[in-house]
Amino acid sequence: MILGVIDIGSHSCRLKIVRQESNHWVSLWEGLETTRLMQGVSDSGKLTDVSMANTLQALRDFKQQLQRFTVDRFRVVATSAMREAQNAKDFAVHIEKEIGFQVDIISGEEEAALSYAGMRALLPNIPNPLLVDIGGGSTEFYHPDWIQTSLKMGAVRASEVHLTSEQARQILAPLAPLKMELSTCSLVGCGGTVTSLAAIFHHMTVYNREQIQGTRLSQQDIQTILEHLRRLSLKERQAVPGLQPQRAEVIVPGISWLLQIMHFLQAPNITVSDADLREGILIQLGK
C-alpha cells in the first residue's frame, strides 16, 4: 500500500510518500517547500497573499507527486499558522476548490501526540522521552504520563518578536508545575530547528536522515553553534553546511528558543529525531 502525508507547516510545506511493507516503510519520495505561512500572522492575524500563493504552488507540485506514485491513502494537515489565522478556514476552502485537498487543521494537542508517535516508532529505545517539537509558530510538548500541550512560540514567531529570556520564561510558565517530573526525562527534539542543528553539527553537505536520527547534542554543542551563526551575516549563514538557505533567517532565534527550553527543564542534552508528525500520521494511515 502506498501512503502519503502533507504537512502544511508555519515555515514550510512537506510531503512524504512511502510504500508500507510488512513491518517497515520504504521511502518513495520526500519534498519540502519553504512557504513562510506564519509570516505576518502575529501582527495582522491573517495569512498573507504571498504566503498563501506560495503554499498553493507547493500543494500543486505535491499533488503531481501523489498522482505519479498512485497513492492509496493520504492526509493533509495544517498546524500553527492555520490554527491561528483569521482567514485560515477560507484558505482551506480555497485549497479544496483549487487543488482538491481536504485540509485538516489539527489542534496543538493532536500535533503533539502525532509527533510523539512518529518519534517513538523510530527511536524506540530512548528511556522516558519527553518530546519537544519546535515548529515555525508553535512548540509542542508530549509525555504520555504528564503533558500534551502546545505553546505559541516557534522559530518564525521568535524571529518576529525578538524573544527575550523573560518572555521565554513567561511562555514556558505552563510547564512549571511539572518541572520536577519533566527534568527527569530524556529530552528528544524534532522539527526543522533541531534537525538543522544536527546537520550543522555533522557538517552535512547532503542531508542524511540515518545520521541525523539519534544524534545527541549537549547544551555546549548547541551554544557553540549558536555563537558561530550569530557572528555570520545572512549571506554567510546561507552557505553554512547543513543549513538550508531558506532557514538562515530563522535559525538563530529558533536555536535561542531551544536553549531557553533546555535551561528551563534543566536538560543537559537533547536527542534529535528526524521522525515527527508525518510519521505519526503514516502510522495512522497504515492501520
Q: Would you write out the chain's pLDDT as a tens digit for each of its 287 residues?
A: 999 999 999 999 999 999 999 888 999 999 999 999 998 888 899 999 999 999 999 999 999 999 999 999 999 999 999 999 999 999 999 999 999 999 999 999 999 999 999 999 999 999 999 999 999 999 999 999 999 999 999 999 998 888 888 999 999 999 999 999 999 999 999 999 999 999 999 999 999 999 999 999 999 999 999 999 999 999 999 999 999 999 999 999 999 999 999 999 999 999 999 999 999 999 999 98
* Residue 151: closest CA among 5, 258, 269: 258
Instruction: Catalogue the E-assigned strands of 183-225.
Output: 186-190, 216-218
* Residue indicated by cell numbers 531551544: 258
CA diameter of the chain: 50
Q: Which residues are CB-neighbours of 173 under 8 A, at least 6 positions away?
A: none
Residue corresponding to grid cell 555563537:
227
Tell me, what DSSP letter sits at residue 101? P
Task: Of 42, 31, 7, 30, give the one whose Cα is nearest residue 253.
Answer: 42
pTM of structure = 0.93
Angle CA(58)–CA(65)–CA(191) in degrees, nearest 5? 55
Distance CA 208, CA 123 (A): 16
Rg (CA), the chain: 18
Contacts of 164 (CB under 8 A, 6+ apart): none
- Separation between Cα atoms, residue 140 and residue 193, nearest integer Å: 13
- CB-based contact 270:188 (threshold 8 Å): yes
Output the nine-digit C-alpha cell for 1: 500500500
pLDDT at 22 (0 to 100):
81
Q: Which domains does the chain have, with CATH numbers?
A: 2-106 (3.30.420.40), 109-277 (3.30.420.150)
pLDDT attached to residue 222: 98
Tell me which H or E stretch contains 270. Answer: strand 269-272
pLDDT at residue number 24: 86
Cβ(116)–Cβ(150) under 8 Å? no
pLDDT score for 74: 97
CA distance 30 to 159: 27
Interatomic CA distance for residues 208 and 199, integer angstroms: 8
pLDDT score at 200: 98
CA distances (Å), origin 112, targets 9, 54, 56, 216 = 14, 26, 25, 21
Nearest to 225 by CA among 265, 274, 258: 258
| Strand order from edge to edge, sheet including 25-34 | 25-34, 12-20, 2-8, 73-78, 103-105
| DSSP state at residue 9 | -
- Could you give the CA distance from residue 103 to residue 120 in angstroms, rounded to a whole number? 25
